[in-house]
Every structure is written in structure tokens, then in C-alpha cells.
Amino acid sequence: RTPDPALPAKGLLRSRHNNYFTLPVLFIMISNHFPSTYGSQYNWLILAGIAVAAVLVRHYFNTRHDSNRFAWTLPVGALAMICLAYVTGPKPMPTAPEVAKAPGVIEYQPLPETAVGGGAKPATAPAAPTAAPTQAANAQGPSFEKVHSVIQERCSVCHSAKPTSPLFSAAPGGVMFDTPEQIQQQAARIQAQAVTNQIMP
């Protein structure tokens, strides 16, 4: 029986597809370590940009032994990755004058319905101060008591030695906010996850 030449041709096409999408698939597999990508409102566009840049890089390695016609794909892909890294990078921290102008209260932001405890607004929201705070008080920011109350409401259901969320039997990543010392140790990560990237409620 004469082999059908269409079958190996299809196999070659599938192999080429697998070859070019190796890097994008690998990134998707480890993307949970990069919340600035999937936590963005433009996550689909960021993923598409990473896929295109990865395909360009892969095309360079596939063709570099035959000719240098596609040598441009490597610097273009690298430049695209640098641009994406800049776009998805954390926002700069506010300067001293901006901090001084910031209000000294924490505004209530409703939890998303997909979050643990989300979908329902609490009976009372934090009350605004009766008198306008001074500029010095504004510069200091909210008190630790206010920060602690927000963390207890939104974070400690999961990030605790004994999580109350049915989704976890232990604190995710071993991160716990049971004591003030634990909260202060994780202050930078709280800033990055909940304020800058806004991927935590």
C-alpha cells in the first residue's frame, strides 16, 4: 500500500505549531508566579504580546542556520518583552507631596463576588472623620488599627494559622496575618499584591 503523503505533511504542520508555541505555553504554565500579568485588566492583551514576542524569538532560532533573513526577529522580540515588562511593572510609589495630599482614611471598596466573602456589602462602612485631618496627619497615613481591621476582614479568612475559608486548610504560601508582627513583616508584599497589582481583595 502506498503511504498517503498528506499524513506526514499534517504531522509536520502539527510539529511546527508545537515548536512555535513552546515558549508561550511554558509561560502560561508558570504565569501564576507573575501576578502583574494575569492580574491586569489587559491580561489577554499582555498574554497575546508575550506569545507574539516568544514566536519571534523562536522563529529566529529555527531559521538562523539557513540564513540571516530573519535575524531581525530576535531584537524585535527582545524589545517587545522589555516593553511588556515596563508596562506590567509595579506603579511608582507616591512622592512625599502626593502622600501629604492623600486622605487619612481608608475608603471602603466592595469585595468582588468571586472573592471569599464577596458579593455582600457589610452593614456599616468605615465612618469618615468629622473634622478634616491636618496635613501632618495625612502624611502619616491611616493608623495601624484601620489597616488591621481591613486585613482581618479581607485577608485573614485565608491567611491565618487556622483559615476560616472552606477553600484552604492552611495559609496560602505560608503567609499569615494573625499578629501585628506578621503584618509588618509582609507590608511590602501587601502593598504589591493588594494595592499596586490589585489581585487580592
Place of cell 511554558: 26
Place of cell 499584591: 193
Per-residue pLDDT tens digits for 95-151: 544 444 444 444 445 544 544 445 545 444 445 454 444 455 455 667 888 888 888
**DSSP code per residue over 106-129:** PPP-PPPTTSTTTTS--SSPPPPP
Which residue did the predictor score with more confidence, 197 or 132?
197
- Burial grade of 154 (CB within 10 A; 0-12, 13-18, 19 or more): buried
The pTM is what? 0.48
Per-residue pLDDT tens digits for 40-64: 778 889 899 999 999 999 998 888 8
Q: What is the DSSP letter of 65?
A: T
Closest CA to 194 of 151, 161, 133, 138: 151
Residue 78 has what pLDDT?
A: 92
Tell me the domain boundaries of the chain. 5-88, 143-200
